[in-house]
């Protein structure tokens, strides 16, 4: 199978490059910067990613360019562009001000394939502290912006192109076209990779990985672990045993609802009520990172206990996807936050780790789920954090606080599901392209707010109290914050502009029906700088 190799120099958007390439129905592998595969005839092109380092830093990642330059097409992005220039004798220097944000591209080489079909003044996204001030011999500029003279350049003699902006991010409006020009027109991709081919390849790989061993899978109720379970079930059948742990931090009625869903999928599922253990171990703990670590530790302990009851269990499967891992540890070794599914398993667990979805983004997982024929309500389910409501309660965790949050959250989520919005034109086409189930009539569709939103949830500010008045009495109770964001991959997200009448109705219902809450707020911060979850 043809493939593009993406060499990772530590950028947090490296996987977005991979996602864009896969959207072009082209298989790609993301590898550490120093692990380019030798003697692999299936490689049709190489992309060098960005990096948090400068090419002048002592710890900067370096690669032997002679492995591929002059042999197959190469595209350098940001650090990759600067590294190619620097390595070949060009000049890369610090700028007085960091070049970050929107810029508008002027390209001036009409014969250059990289900008085929591009508009003049196309918006691109810059994010770098250094800039190229002189190109090496044998290279020519092909585009610039108002502040960046060498926004893009190419080799006169070899199939090498480089850009100092990030075509993979949403804010580079024609970035996908640039990548298509490189992957399809320049590298010659046959565009034969799809969700169906991913399933076939993954099922085959799973059978090779686990053989005749028994596998246990940690189910959470979310789309990731559910798709992983169906994939494994397709690969090894009754050799899969699924375990769904109720840590007491799930949404209202979630345990029973999800168990019913899994029975309908024909999965062998064991339900474990471990809520008492989790509540005891979390008692008095307020630090977010410590809460995550305790939940991760207890999760492993519960699984270890269950695994001992299952004969021949040799593997633990998880629905870990890429955003879980990129926010936990990148190639530079810098931790952003820990994730209970990330970091390997303790030796005493005696189980190998199986992660069939670890290179996929959420929207790709959903496409795989649809290809597998899974029910739509499972596929469109919003992401939910592994530590559950523990990271949506600011402060220590108690059963009483969890109950308050469950009730408020249930009102919010049900409201989003029941509120319908009529869309037309570009908005309607975008929703349909995302695979959201809706039927178009007279150029319009009706969809719920829930289906338009990437992720929604409620946060309990349990360490804060606010004054209120209910009837003739003064109250001193907790505020809750509603959070709803739009996104395509969770790497960036914007707050959802919910209708005022919906917000008013939900706020009123929460305050009237949920004892312990007397104030409702709405979070209007985007990611970055804020994360989707509060903890």
Residues 479/466, Cβ–Cβ less than 8 Å: yes
DSSP-derived secondary structure letter, 136? P
Q: How far does CA 498 lie from the centroid of its chain?
A: 23
Q: Which residues share a beta bridge with 426?
A: none
Cβ-in-10-Å burial (0-12, 13-18, 19+) of 273 comes to exposed
Cβ-in-10-Å burial (0-12, 13-18, 19+) of 200 comes to exposed
User: Would you please indicate which residues are annotated as catalytic (active-site) residues?
Assistant: 78, 166, 168
How far is residue 361's CA from residue 81's CA, in Å, rounded to a whole number? 26
- Token reading at 388: 């559950």
SS3 call for 517 = strand
Ranges assigned E (strand) in 347-472: 352-354, 420-424, 444-448, 455-460, 466-470
Residues 459/523, Cβ–Cβ less than 8 Å: yes
How far is residue 149's CA from residue 139's CA, in Å, rounded to a whole number? 14
Question: Tokens 């490296």, residue?
Answer: 14
Handedness of CA 128, 133, 137, 140 (dihedral sign): positive
Strands 43-48, 28-32: parallel, antiparallel or unpaired by DSSP?
A: unpaired
For 138, residues 6+ apart whose C-beta sits below 8 A from its C-beta are 88, 155, 156, 157
How far is residue 106's CA from residue 151's CA, in Å, rounded to a whole number? 9
Please state, in angstroms and as integers, the Cα–Cα distance from residue 356 to each residue in 201, 207, 316, 396, following that order: 10, 11, 11, 34
């Amino acid at each position: 199978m043809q493939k593009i190799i993406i060499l990772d120099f530590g950028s947090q958007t490296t996987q977005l490059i991979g996602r864009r390439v896969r959207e072009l129905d082209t298989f790609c592998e993301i590898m550490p910067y120093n692990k380019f595969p030798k003697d692999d005839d299936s490689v049709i092109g190489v992309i060098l990613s960005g990096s948090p380092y400068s090419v002048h830093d002592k710890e900067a990642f370096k690669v032997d360019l002679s492995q591929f330059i002059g042999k197959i097409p190469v595209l350098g992005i940001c650090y990759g562009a600067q590294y190619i220039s620097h390595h070949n004798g060009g000049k890369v220097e610090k700028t007085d001000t960091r070049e970050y944000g929107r810029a508008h591209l002027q390209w001036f080489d009409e014969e250059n394939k990289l900008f085929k079909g591009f508009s003049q003044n196309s918006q691109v996204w810059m994010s770098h502290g250094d800039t190229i001030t002189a190109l090496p011999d044998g290279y020519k500029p092909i585009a610039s912006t108002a502040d960046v003279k060498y926004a893009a350049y190419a080799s006169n003699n070899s199939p090498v192109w480089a850009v100092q902006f990030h075509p993979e991010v949403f804010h580079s409006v024609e970035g996908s076209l640039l990548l298509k020009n490189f992957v399809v027109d320049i590298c010659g991709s046959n565009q034969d990779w799809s969700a169906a081919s991913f399933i076939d390849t993954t099922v085959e790989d799973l059978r090779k990985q686990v053989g005749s061993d028994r596998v246990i899978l940690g189910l959470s109720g979310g789309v990731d672990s559910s798709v992983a379970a169906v994939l494994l079930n397709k690969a090894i059948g009754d050799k899969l045993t699924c375990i769904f742990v109720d840590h007491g931090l799930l949404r209202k009625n979630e345990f029973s609802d999800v168990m019913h869903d899994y029975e309908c999928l024909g999965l062998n599922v064991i339900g474990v009520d471990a809520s008492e253990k989790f509540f005891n171990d979390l008692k008095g703990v307020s630090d977010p990172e410590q809460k995550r670590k305790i939940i991760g530790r207890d999760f492993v302990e519960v699984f270890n206990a269950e695994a001992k009851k299952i004969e021949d269990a040799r593997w633990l499967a998880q629905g870990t996807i890429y955003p879980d891992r990129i926010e936990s540890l990148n190639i530079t070794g810098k931790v952003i936050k820990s994730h209970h599914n990330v970091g390997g398993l303790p030796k005493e667990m005696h189980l190998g780790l199986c992660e069939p979805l670890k290179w996929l983004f959420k929207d790709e997982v959903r496409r795989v789920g649809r290809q597998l024929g899974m029910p739509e309500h499972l596929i469109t389910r919003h992401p939910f954090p592994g530590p559950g409501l523990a990271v949506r309660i600011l402060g220590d965790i108690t059963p009483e606080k969890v109950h308050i949050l469950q009730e408020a959250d249930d009102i919010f989520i049900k409201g989003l599901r029941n509120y319908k919005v009529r869309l037309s034109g570009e908005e309607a086409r975008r929703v349909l392209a995302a695979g959201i189930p809706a039927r178009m009539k007279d150029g319009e569709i009706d969809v719920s707010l829930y289906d338009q939103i990437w992720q929604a949830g409620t946060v309990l500010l349990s360490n804060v109290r606010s004054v209120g008045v209910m009837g003739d009495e003064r109250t001193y109770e907790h505020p809750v914050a509603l959070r709803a964001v739009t996104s395509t991959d969770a790497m960036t997200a914007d707050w959802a502009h919910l209708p005022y009448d919906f917000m008013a109705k939900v706020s009123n219902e929460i305050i009237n029906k949920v004892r312990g809450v007397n104030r409702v707020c709405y979070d209007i911060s985007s990611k970055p700088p804020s994360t989707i979850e509060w903890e």
